[in-house]
Amino acid sequence: MSRPIKKDFEMIASYKQRLVAVYGKMVLVLLVVLIVVAAKAQTTVTWKDLDSAAASNMQAVTYKTVNDSAIKFYYSLPPKASLAHKFPTIVFIHGGAWRGGNAKSFFAYAAYFAMRGMVGISIDYRLLKRPTDDINNCIADCKSAIRYIKQHASQLCVDTNRLVICGESAGGHLAACMQLLDGYNDPNEDSTLSTKPTALVLLNPVVNVTTPTFLKFVDASILFAPKSITDSVVLHNQCFEKAKAISPLFVIKSALPPTLLINGMNDKITPPAYAEAFAQKANQYKSNCQLVLLPNTGHAFAVPRYKATEAETLQTVATISDFLTSFKFLKHKIQLINSNDPNWITKK
């Protein structure tokens, strides 16, 4: 009897081995299928695709009219958005020393983050074009835009509790002012409606307006005057106090919302020392100000087809994406790849 029983055990053991082998192969096949499905679920896009998406999807809104001139922002909604839903939102403020640039600079950024499940917005504001213009109007207009967005949140599908403001250079200054300055409001608006965001992204921001580079911008009459009279004494006497009052570095008095500050180590326009000073002062108030210093990088690294290469621009998007992912603001997986576009010409 012992020999047949032994044979039965051997057959059972062999069957178990075959069963484990088959099961293992099934698991392997399932893993391969899951990997393929995941790969297909992740959309691959280039910057050209973002430009095309922006051209097709960005919608214009007049948020303010001054002297019969319409001031607008432009927005793009996430895929399949409906008025029944509210989405996290990112608002871009362009740079250009308060006298140049426009909202189109960040249309592709807005389109990208719309693809990732956010409402992407890029705003225009009045610029310094004449001796009678005032930098305070730049601040007031941005505040008007943020208030309009909050007041019309349902029509724009905006979740006002998940509102990120991102600014570059002078736009970084204006973005910080939305959090830090209580005044500088349009007198025709309800100034009790806060312009403070849920989070800030500052890209080589102007945090110190009192430097020789920026001092003259606080008084357009000096900015457009002959160079012979714009000496340092005149600038200091007429502009310093006003410049200091609107310098984010000097007006931090309480904790900031979560903030990402990116600055180039080789930036001569907004030197990294000021970015470091801003982050250090902000974190004294127990803020969460993350400072990223980019080696071998100058000013305007975030502006596409300007001074940054395509690869540098994509890295900026990736860094912002990582920051927003930490708040679970992003949903859809998008792989933004470098197309090595031969027409991507950078300014030296």
Q: Answer whether 262's CB lies under 8 Å from 204's CB.
A: yes
- Which of helix, strand or coil describes residue 212? coil
Write down the mean pLDDT value for the chain. Answer: 90
For residue 32, give Cα distances in angstroms to 21, 36, 37: 17, 6, 9
Distance between CA 242 and CA 238 in Å, rounded? 8
Question: Which region holds residue 234: left if phi is over 0, alpha if psi is between -120 and 50, else beta?
Answer: alpha
Which are the contacts of 267, defined by CB distance < 8 A and separation ≥ 6?
Answer: 204, 297, 298, 299
| pTM attached to this predicted model | 0.88
For residue 316, give Cα distances in angstroms to 67, 111, 209, 304, 320: 37, 15, 24, 10, 6
Please write the tens of the pLDDT for every residue from 70-124: 999 999 999 988 888 999 999 999 999 999 999 999 999 999 999 999 999 999 9
Give the type of residue at 314: L
Please write the tens of the pLDDT for every residue from 161-194: 999 999 999 999 999 999 999 999 999 999 999 9
Please give the class, per CATH, of domain 43-209+246-336: alpha beta
Average pLDDT over residues 229-245: 82
For residue 121, give Cα distances in angstroms to 12, 66, 92, 273: 67, 21, 6, 30
Going 148 to 149 to 155 to 159, the CA torsion angle's sign is negative
Q: Categorize the per-residue pLDDT at 140 as very low, low, confident or very high, splitting at 50, 70 and 90.
A: very high
- Which of helix, strand or coil describes residue 296? coil
For residue 28, give Cα distances in angstroms to 15, 21, 42: 20, 11, 21
The partner residues of 66 in beta bridges, in order of sequence, read 69
CB atoms within 10 A of CB 99: 16
Burial 321-344 (b: 16+ CB within 10 A, else e): bebbeeeebbeeebebeeeeeeeb
Q: Answer whether 108's CB lies under 8 Å from 302's CB.
A: no
